[in-house]
């Protein structure tokens, strides 16, 4: 079994396509008026605007983080800043500055951010992934 698709709710599909295109360094593909897909090594990141797809409801941000393993963490950090990501302050959980690239207590180098639609994201340097 493999994970096929992750839905990322958005309220502006054009803005989402630009944001994730810049961060992921990929164009993706528009598959419907409210869906723009990015292939993340076989798992589809599906930016989804329900109103643009005619569903008659507003998108709500995912409550939990979506984690990306990336090959060039510094490039992704710069791209996220330029594309309009929001960076959280210090975490109450004590894992270090959330919006800065740091090595976490479990060994991962990462940074946390929010996309322009309020979705929680984390980007982790591939070479430091902790899989338990």
CATH of 5-128, one of 3.40.50.1370, 3.30.70.1150, 3.10.180.10, 3.40.50.2300: 3.10.180.10
Q: Looking at the predicted structure, is the pLDDT value of residue 65 above 70?
A: yes
Q: Which of these, 103, 95, 99, 97, lies nearest to 122 by C-alpha position?
A: 99
**Distance between CA atoms of residues 65 and 108, nearest Å:** 15
Dig out the tokens for 86 from the structure: 């929001």
Q: Looking at the predicted structure, is the pLDDT value of residue 132 above 90?
A: no
Q: For the chain, how far is it from start to end, CA to CA, in angstroms? A: 19
**Residue 104: phi, psi to the nearest 5?**
-75, 160
**Distance between CA atoms of residues 85 and 112, nearest Å:** 10
Dig out the tokens for 98 from the structure: 């959330």
pLDDT confidence band for 11 (50 / 70 / 90): very high
């Amino acid at each position: 079994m493999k994970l096929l698709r992750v839905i990322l709710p958005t309220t502006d599909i054009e803005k989402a396509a630009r944001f994730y295109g810049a961060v992921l360094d990929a164009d993706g593909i528009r598959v419907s008026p409210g869906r723009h897909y990015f292939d993340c090594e076989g798992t589809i990141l599906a930016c989804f605007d329900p109103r643009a797809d005619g569903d008659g409801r507003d998108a709500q941000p995912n409550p939990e983080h979506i984690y990306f393993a990336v090959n060039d963490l510094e490039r992704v950090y710069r791209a996220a800043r330029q594309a309009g990501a929001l960076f959280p302050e210090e975490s109450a959980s004590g894992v270090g500055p959330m919006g800065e690239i740091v090595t976490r207590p479990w060994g991962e180098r990462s940074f946390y951010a929010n996309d322009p639609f309020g979705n929680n994201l984390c980007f982790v340097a591939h070479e430091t992934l902790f899989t338990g």
